[in-house]
């Protein structure tokens, strides 16, 4: 210090009623993606920093695994994880695992940026409400410092059930399915506390608070009042399906039912930070997946042989997008996190394969020959190639071209 006095640590305390949102100067519209490293989320259904998302799904479909993945890998400076009325061992997992994981940005243990609010299923129901509100207020406190904060709540259904029980005991007039009439209002006021804001103060610092809530409707029924009330406020919907979970396709997020209303506003972000063709490729891949649903309907009715070779190729490519791109193992060292750059390259390779094989089909190479190409194995294994060796994935494009060239010269010879 200037006057020679030594510095002294002081601790600060703020008191704030948790049900009241903390004030800010101005709300801005979100413009950057919350990068999660989960391919289906970042590429197809991105959530913005300062945005809201919900993950509804039946029991065992992977809600908790997704929330844990976001807590581990989302590019936020602070993560607030609320375990609301769920199993205690899941909180223990976080507590044991996070100190061992290193945050790639700060190079410090992940635990240092994480706030855990543990409210397990054996605690009194009134505490569930307290856990949700405490969590979001702590998150706002860090947002007010100008930080990027991400909040995960697993599961908001347990909070809603607590509201139902308390309202029943207060003998209030019940609404839909016995939930209180103010269920929707409470849920929206919770999610509305998310956002990108200019904080109070003269330095105009910007803070973001993203909120991602899991919802566990009984039987995975999306008409459940908690799901419906949540969908009315959030902008991103990641729909978990038990059919996909049963097939061990994880993350079991339906690519046909999910949506992100941030896709348009994040277009410039992806174009600038990843690649100008990122959004175009994503749209092409989505069209292929949607087309697959229609083609499968025909296959169910009349069999795969009734399809033209072009349609059979389309089916093969959509299978490749599902298995080689969307499928992501949260427990694999490399696969657990994929950078945007790698996501872009992986999808680009699959689409390159499609473009080139479409040409080969029209030059008379049979669909069977294409299906048995050796390079397909490489495409399938590409996601396990570490980030440091991205060039190895990029060379697969040249290998596709080379194998197709050798195939066409062979077919010409046999034809002659
Ligand atoms: N991305 C993933 N990669 C690998 N396995 C996964 C993935 N997602 C889910 N699983 C598997 O699914 C199982 C159930 O997931 P999880 O516990 O997250 O479900 P849940 O929806 O939270 O269930 P509940 O409603 O009971 O809380 C996990 O134990 C894991 O084996
Ligand atoms: Mg769970």
Q: How many domains does the chain have?
A: 2
d(CA 58, ligand 2 centre) in Å: 9
Distance 156 CA to ligand 1 centre (A): 17
Is the pLDDT assigned to residue 178 strictly greater than 90?
A: yes
Give residue 4's pLDDT band: very low, low, confident or very high (50, 70, 90): low
Sign of CA dihedral 121, 210, 70, 256: positive
Residue 378 lies in a domain: yes
Give start and end residues of each alpha helix (H) in 32-116.
39, 63-73, 88-97
Is residue 21 in a domain?
A: no
Q: Is 281 in the pocket of ligand 1 (CB under 6 A)?
A: no
142 and 197, same domain (yes or no): yes
Residue 356 maps to which CATH number? Answer: 1.10.1140.10
Q: Are residues 57 and 200 both part of a single domain?
A: yes
Q: Are 250 and 92 in contact (CB under 8 A)?
A: no
CB 81 within 8 A of CB 152: yes
Q: Which of 62, 64, 71, 332 to mutate to test the pocket of ligand 1 (most atoms within 8 A of CB)?
A: 62
pTM here? 0.92
- Cα separation of 295 and 288, whole Å? 10
For residues 247 and 259, is the Cβ–Cβ distance under 8 A?
Answer: no
| Average pLDDT, rounded, for the chain | 93
Pairing of strands 195-198, 26-28: antiparallel
How far out from the chain centre does Cα 99 lie? Answer: 23
Per-residue pLDDT band at 412 (split at 50, 70, 90): low
Residues 131 and 230 in one domain: yes
Do both 255 and 383 map to the same domain? no
Does residue 292 sit in the same domain as residue 164? no
* Boundary of a domain, candidates 261, 295, 310: 261
Would you call 253 helix, strand, or coil by DSSP?
Answer: strand
Residue holding tokens 């240092």? 112
Cite the beta strand spans of 216-335 per DSSP E.
Answer: 236-237, 259-260
Which residues, in sequence order, are bridge partners of residue 149? 78, 209
Domain boundaries, position 53: 26-261
pLDDT tens figures, 384-411: 999 999 999 999 999 999 999 998 777 6
Q: Tens digits of per-residue pLDDT, 265-301?
A: 999 999 999 999 999 999 999 999 999 999 999 999 9
Residues 244 and 355 in one domain: no
Q: Is residue 204 part of a domain?
A: yes
Is any ligand 1 atom within 6 A of the Cβ of residue 63? yes
Q: What is the pLDDT of residue 407?
A: 86
Beta bridge partners of 280: none
> Quick one: DSSP state of residue 251?
S
Give the number of residues written for the chain. Answer: 416
Residues 75 and 176 in one domain: yes
């Amino acid at each position: 210090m200037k006057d020679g006095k030594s510095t002294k640590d002081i601790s600060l305390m703020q008191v704030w009623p948790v049900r009241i949102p903390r004030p800010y100067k101005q709300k801005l519209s979100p413009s950057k993606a919350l990068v999660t490293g989960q391919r289906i989320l970042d590429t197809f259904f991105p959530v913005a920093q300062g945005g809201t998302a919900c993950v509804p799904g039946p029991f065992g479909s992977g809600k908790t695994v997704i929330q844990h993945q976001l807590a581990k890998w989302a590019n936020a400076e602070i993560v607030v994880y609320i375990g609301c009325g769920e199993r205690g061992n899941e909180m223990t997992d976080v507590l044991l695992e996070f100190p061992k994981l290193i945050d790639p940005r700060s190079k410090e243990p992940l635990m240092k940026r994480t706030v855990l609010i543990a409210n397990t299923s054996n605690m009194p129901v009134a505490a569930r409400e307290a856990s949700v509100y405490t969590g979001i207020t702590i998150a706002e406190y860090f947002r007010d410092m100008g930080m990027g904060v991400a909040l995960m709540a697993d599961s908001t259904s347990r909070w809603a059930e607590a509201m139902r029980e308390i309202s029943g005991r207060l003998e209030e007039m019940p609404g839909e399915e016995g939930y209180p009439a103010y269920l929707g209002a409470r849920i929206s006021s919770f999610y509305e506390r998310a956002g990108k804001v200019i904080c109070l103060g003269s330095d105009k610092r910007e803070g973001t608070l993203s909120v991602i809530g899991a919802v566990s409707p009984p039987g995975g029924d999306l008409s459940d009042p908690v799901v419906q009330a949540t969908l009315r406020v959030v902008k991103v919907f990641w729909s978990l399906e038990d059919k996909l979970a049963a097939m061990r396709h994880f993350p079991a997020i339906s690519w046909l039912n999910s949506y992100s209303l941030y896709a348009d506003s994040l277009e410039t972000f992806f174009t600038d930070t990843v690649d100008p063709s990122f959004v175009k490729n994503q749209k092409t891949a989505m069209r292929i997946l949607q087309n697959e649903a229609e083609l499968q309907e025909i296959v169910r009715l009349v069999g795969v042989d009734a399809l033209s070779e072009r349609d059979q190729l389309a089916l093969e490519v959509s299978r490749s997008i599902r298995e080689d791109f969307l499928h992501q193992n949260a427990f694999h060292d490399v696969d657990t996190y994929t950078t945007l750059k790698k996501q872009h390259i992986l999808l680009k390779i699959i689409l390159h394969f499609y473009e080139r094989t479409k040409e080969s089909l029209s030059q008379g190479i049979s669909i069977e020959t294409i299906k048995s190409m050796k390079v397909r194995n490489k495409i399938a294994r590409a996601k396990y190639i570490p980030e440091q060796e991205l060039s190895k994935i990029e060379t697969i494009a040249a290998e596709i071209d080379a194998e197709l060239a050798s195939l066409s010269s062979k077919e010409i010879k046999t034809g002659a």
